[in-house]
């Protein structure tokens, strides 16, 4: 099943830029691993307000429990608020229809 995620990151005040850089680097490595495993399908960055740190992601998981485990494995999860929207196929999806 596929899931659309809206991930908003709020770094606590007083967090050093060194720590932020380390977590972001670890996040990039974990994202690559999840992509290779077929869980992370796409990532987007919507228009952001000044100081906002947000991403939209398309993930694939067996169920929402597995998705939560995947999201919890992201290093940024310590600062992340996630909204999850389960997706089901649309009957007019061009990828699932032959025209």
Q: What string of pLDDT tens digits covers the 99 residues of the chain?
A: 999 999 999 999 999 999 999 999 999 999 999 999 999 999 999 998 888 899 999 999 999 999 999 999 999 999 999 999 999 988 888 887 655
> How much is the CA Rg of the chain, to the nearest whole Å?
15
Look up residue 24 and give its two tokens: 């972001």
Architecture of the domain whose range is 2-87 = 2-Layer Sandwich (3.30)
Q: What does the buried/exposed string (b/e) look like for 81-97 if buried means 16 or more CB atoms within 10 Å of the residue's CB?
A: ebebeeeeeeeeeeeee
What is the pTM assigned to this prediction? Answer: 0.89
- Asked if residue 8 lies in contact with residue 53, where contact means CB atoms within 8 angstroms, the answer is yes
Q: For CA atoms 39, 46, 50, 6, give the dihedral sign.
A: negative
Name the 3-class secondary structure at 1: coil
């Amino acid at each position: 099943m596929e899931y659309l995620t809206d991930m908003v990151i709020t770094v606590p005040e007083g967090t050093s830029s060194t720590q932020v850089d380390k977590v972001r680097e670890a996040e990039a490595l974990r994202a690559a691993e999840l992509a290779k495993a077929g869980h992370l399908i796409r990532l987007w960055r919507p228009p952001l307000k000044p100081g906002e740190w947000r991403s939209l992601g398309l993930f694939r998981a067996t169920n929402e429990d597995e998705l939560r485990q995947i999201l919890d494995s992201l290093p940024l999860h310590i600062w992340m608020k996630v909204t999850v929207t389960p997706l089901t196929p649309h009957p007019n999806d061009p990828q699932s229809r032959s025209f």
